[in-house]
């Protein structure tokens, strides 16, 4: 066996790790969060940590809050808009008719 100095089955950091080597674990608290779909998630926080008002639901990705009866609503996702949709937001049919008439007049002059 070449290089027989290593202990088999060991690696750096391996071995029993207890509180004597790591120090004492912080006191913890489990907090419930609910999303609008009714999923409950229960992440663990240090007892003296600031618990956030909202948490992302690990099941659906919606925001979850601590009030089960009134969870936060998911953000509204705007659908993809075409260039024409943006133009129609800025101009009405009368504006379009005027622009079309001007463009046709220029084409006829050429």
Q: Which residues pair with 65 in a beta bridge?
A: 34, 54
Q: What is the pLDDT of residues 43-87, one digit of tens each?
A: 999 999 999 999 999 999 999 999 999 999 988 888 889 988 888
Residues above pLDDT 70, as percent of the chain = 80
Confidence of residue 6 (pLDDT cuts 50, 70, 90): low
Dihedral (CA of 60, 61, 62, 67) sign: positive
């Amino acid at each position: 066996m070449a290089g027989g100095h290593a202990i088999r089955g060991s690696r750096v950091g391996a071995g029993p790790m207890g509180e004597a080597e790591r120090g004492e674990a912080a006191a913890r608290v489990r907090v419930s969060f609910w999303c609008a779909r009714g999923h409950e998630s229960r992440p663990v926080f240090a007892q003296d940590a600031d618990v956030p008002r909202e948490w992302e639901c690990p099941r659906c990705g919606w925001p979850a809050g601590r009030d089960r009866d009134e969870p936060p609503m998911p953000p509204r996702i705007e659908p993809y808009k075409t260039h024409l949709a943006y133009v129609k937001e800025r101009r009405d049919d009368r504006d379009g008719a005027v622009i079309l008439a001007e463009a046709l007049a220029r084409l006829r002059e050429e």
